Chain A
């Protein structure tokens, strides 16, 4: 997927003294990593480790898919910021896709913890990590943990 970056964003939306503004570029530029240039079975192997399908959309804002995030990692990305610069993912809302990016980095051998170069606290637990006793405790109140796992994993049967 090719996409066009129009602006740099969230800093201006949070700066307490409104010191950052958005300036449109004269010429839009495109950021993307071509996933087809990388071994598809390696992309699938990394994605599957964290229950994410390669074609799955990770960044809803820029419509960036998991395969492209993994391709960026295979091309040298080691942090969430590298991923953003190479693919455009997480340059919109900056929020919704962080965990999938963190998990794909970790599955590729680059665990993310809070450090000096970025502001990501690290990974949280997922649906696949829940204690079976806790699942039993909450299922009578309507939560469908195992059913959701089954439902989501059908994606790996898709053609």
Chain B
């Protein structure tokens, strides 16, 4: 892997094929190269992690950030739940998120005298995933056994919000106080639409299936993220909440740890960073007119990462998903539900998936997330019998393989899709940090399209996106000063 970035290591997990069954990584293919994020967009901040300082940078940044937080509510005899989500453990290998959580626990104990600080970590639809991470990152030892995974089918309770009743998980709130440990990684832009993005786990990781279901089926593409806000601002949650601690994430890596007693203000502050940095990257990637994609990492297809974005973000590039004048995104559960048996749209306004993507090669992915929509809508090759069998045995994807073909090896799949698509461009989603692995012709294309992105986002798109969200000019101005110092 001479000129390529290191892909995320295969995971030993019940949601993946055994690591030894993964014969070849996309980064090992002949003709592959890489581009780093800052080669593409130099103004995107340099990360504190990954960096030459290693995990110490996160440790120090967490302590520094927590210095500014008021913890006086927490008394020595009180219990505290640090609420976490599986997603953080998929960022840059997961060690940064785990370290932020460990340091937060230590600082709470040092400053408040509380001896009962627990970790309660939620999941999406892979119910054992967080328990796997708790073991992998030694969190159980660090918390002296006071850790627990939570799933949406665990015991719940009603939470009265200003809109009506929703259901939270008992385990999340079974302490005197709660701390929200999360990040502002862009990830499901198609769901949250950058409307209170960092509050989302209150309706997902810390909530029952009834709450999660109404989010995905009974609201709409620009309104569903009101649900986490409703839960967070409820009297019950406000009576428990002390502070939040966040990894501030850019496509280049983690740029800051940010802790705050006011989650709503923190959301405004971090939203500008997210809109700015991811906005520039996605605006550049819109210039790719034709390519094939390889998914090749230990994440579900839509959440497969590279260059700081997930595949869903790239699949959504037929529209500007930041733009709230745009109703349906090209992929979301609200889009997926409106196709009939023949694949015809039930609603005319549904935009297509990114038409640049001609074929998808699925070399390695996690199961445990409904992904049939992708094989139905993008010609798909699955590499190897083990991967095909794994997907076929996934209760959340019993029909995925009906729409896919298989090859024996990755090279055969690449040869096939290159020939039938007529393009040598390949973009790899393999969990590589700080950039993308891709073929040379695609790298050349992206290098040639960089000019003008900065001006377009700073001068036109970012002010529009902020205005649409009621983010004041002052917030934007403050952030501009901050970013330019880095």
Q: Which residues on A are within 8 Å of B, measured CB to CB?
A: 1, 3-7, 9-10, 13-14, 22, 24, 51, 53, 55-58, 60-63, 65, 91-100, 102-103, 119-127, 129-131, 134, 138, 140-145, 147-149, 151-152, 154-155, 158
**Which residue on B lies nearest to A138, using beta carbons?**
B226
Jot down 11 A-B pairs with beta carbons below 8 A, ordered by A.
Answer: A1-B341, A6-B393, A6-B395, A7-B393, A61-B396, A91-B395, A95-B213, A122-B210, A124-B167, A141-B470, A152-B334
The reply to whether B214 and A99 form a contact with Cβ atoms under 8 Å apart is yes
Q: What separation, in Å, do the CA atoms of A10 and B372 have in the docked complex?
A: 19
Q: Does B336 contact A (CB under 8 A)?
A: yes
- A151–B327 touching, CB < 8 Å: yes
Which residues of B lie under 8 Å from residue A92 when comparing CB positions?
370, 395-398
**Which of these binds chain A: B42-50, B150-158, B248-256, B305-313?**
B150-158
Provide the main secondary structure of the chain A interface: loop
A98-B210 in contact (CB<8A): yes
Bound-complex Cα distance A123 to B219 (A): 13
* B contact set with A: CB distance below 8 Å: 125-128, 151-154, 156, 158, 162-167, 193-196, 208-214, 216-223, 225-226, 229, 324, 327-328, 333-334, 336-341, 345-349, 369-370, 372-373, 392-393, 395-399, 468-470
Q: How far is the CB of A124 from chain B (nearest CB, A)?
A: 5
Tell me if A14 and B167 are in contact (CB < 8 A): no
With A1-B341, A53-B338 known as contacts, the answer to whether A125 contacts B210 (CB < 8 A) is no
Asked whether A127 lies within 8 Å of B333 as measured between CB atoms, the reply is no
Tell me the smallest distance from the CB of A11 to a CB of chain B, in Å: 10
For the complex, what is the distance from the CA of A51 to the CA of B337, rounded to whole Å?
13
> Which A residues are in CB contact (< 8 Å) with B213?
95-100
Evaluate contact between A148 and B339: CB separation under 8 angstroms: no
Q: Which residues of A contact B153 (CB under 8 A)?
A: 10, 14, 94-95, 119
Question: Looking at B163, B220, B222, B229, which has the most chain A CB atoms within 10 Å of its CB?
Answer: B220
Q: Are A145 and B210 in contact (CB under 8 A)?
A: no
Q: Are A124 and B166 in contact (CB under 8 A)?
A: yes
Among A13, A62, A122, residue most surrounded by chain B Cβ atoms (within 10 Å)? A13
**Complex alpha-carbon distance, A10 and B336, angstroms:** 23
Q: Considering only CB atoms, which chain A residue lies closest to B268 in the complex?
A: A141
A53 with B333: in contact, given A60-B373, A98-B213 (CB under 8 Å)? no
Name B467's closest neighbour in chain A (CB-CB): A142
Question: How far does the Cβ of A122 sit from chain B's closest Cβ, in whole Å?
Answer: 7
Known A-B contacts: A124-B164, A140-B470. Give 20 more (CB < 8 A): A6-B398, A14-B151, A22-B393, A53-B346, A58-B337, A60-B372, A62-B398, A93-B369, A93-B370, A97-B213, A99-B217, A102-B210, A121-B156, A121-B208, A124-B210, A127-B223, A141-B469, A142-B222, A148-B223, A154-B347
Chain A residues, CB < 8 A from B398: 3-6, 61-62, 92
- Asked whether A13 and B128 contact (CB < 8 A) given A3-B399, A121-B208, A142-B468, the answer is yes
CB <8 Å contact, A9 and B399:
no
B216 touches A158 (CB 8 A): no
CA distance A6 to B420 in the complex (A): 33
CB pair B195 A142 closer than 8 Å: yes
Q: Contact partner of B211 among A56, A60, A124, CB < 8 A? A: A124
Q: Hey, which chain B residues are within 8 Å of A97, CB to CB? A: 213, 217
Let me know if A142 and B324 touch, CB within 8 A. yes
Contact A151 B212, beta carbon cutoff 8 Å: no
CB-based contact B158/A121 at 8 Å: yes
| Contact call B220/A148, Cβ cutoff below 8 A | yes
B164, A95: Cβ atoms under 8 Å? no
Contact status of A120 and B210, CB under 8 A, knowing A127-B223, A143-B226: yes
Q: Are B214 and A124 closer than 8 Å at their CB atoms?
A: yes
Write out the residue numbers on chain A whose beta carbons fall within 8 Å of the beta carbon of B346.
53, 55-56, 155, 158
A155 to B346, CA, bound (A): 6
**A103 to B213 alpha-carbon distance, docked (Å):** 11
**Docked-complex contact B223 and A143, CB < 8 angstroms:** yes
CB-based contact B220/A149 at 8 Å = yes
CB neighbours (8 Å) of A103 from chain B are 218
Q: A10 to B395, alpha carbons, bound, how many Å?
A: 9
- B4–chain A nearest beta-carbon distance, Å: 34
Write out the residue numbers on chain A whose beta carbons fall within 8 Å of the beta carbon of B392.
6
Question: Hey, which chain B residues are within 8 Å of A62, CB to CB?
Answer: 398-399
Query: Which of A62, A63, A149, A155 has the most C-beta atoms of chain B within 10 angstroms of its own C-beta?
Result: A63
Contact of A61 among B152, B216, B339, B370 (CB under 8 A): B370
The CA-CA distance from A9 to B393 in the complex, in Å, is 10
Which residues of chain B are within 8 angstroms of A94 by Cβ–Cβ distance?
153, 209
Give A57 to B217 CA distance when docked, in angstroms.
10
Question: A57–B214 contact, CB under 8 A?
Answer: no
Per the bound structure, the CA–CA distance linking A96 and B345 in Å amounts to 21
User: A99-B214, A121-B156, A155-B346 are contacts. A60–B327 as well, Cβ < 8 Å?
Assistant: no
Assess the B338–A155 pair: CB atoms within 8 A.
yes
Chain A residues closer than 8 Å to B338, beta-carbon distance:
53, 56-57, 155
Query: A151 to chain B: which residues have CB within 8 Å?
Result: 220-221, 327-328, 347, 349
